[in-house]
Amino acid sequence: MTATIRGQGGQLIIEGVLIIVVFMAITFAAAKYLKEKEVVKNLIQGPWLSLAGLMQNGVWGSPEKTNGSHPNGHFRHIVVEGDLAK
């Protein structure tokens, strides 16, 4: 019985190496896919455009589309003038 267990040691090492190779191949394939499709960039850049428009112009949307809604572009500010000096 001990002879059969000792004979399995090489097979265990080979199986371990094969499992490591498979996991490395999956990791590299996933990394290549994420780089080509720019998944992380789109995940961050998409919401950031709306947030940038909100910070810049006070309206949700991209800064270019919401430029006309910027508060300084409206002529609804009141200027109070006093009596002219005589």
Domain boundaries, the chain: 1-37, 44-86
How far is the C-alpha of 5 from the C-alpha of 50, rounded, in Å?
63
pTM: 0.53
Q: Could you tell me which residue, 83 or 45, shows the higher pLDDT?
A: 45
- Whole-number average pLDDT of the chain: 84
Residue 71's identity, in one-letter code, is P
Q: Could you tell me which residue, 84 or 6, shows the higher pLDDT?
A: 84
Q: Is pLDDT at 1 greater than 60 in this prediction?
A: no
Q: How many CB atoms lie within 10 A of CB 53?
A: 21
Provide the pLDDT for residue 2.
Answer: 56
Reported as a pLDDT band with limits 50, 70 and 90, residue 45 is: confident
Q: Kindly state the average pLDDT of the residues 70-86.
A: 71
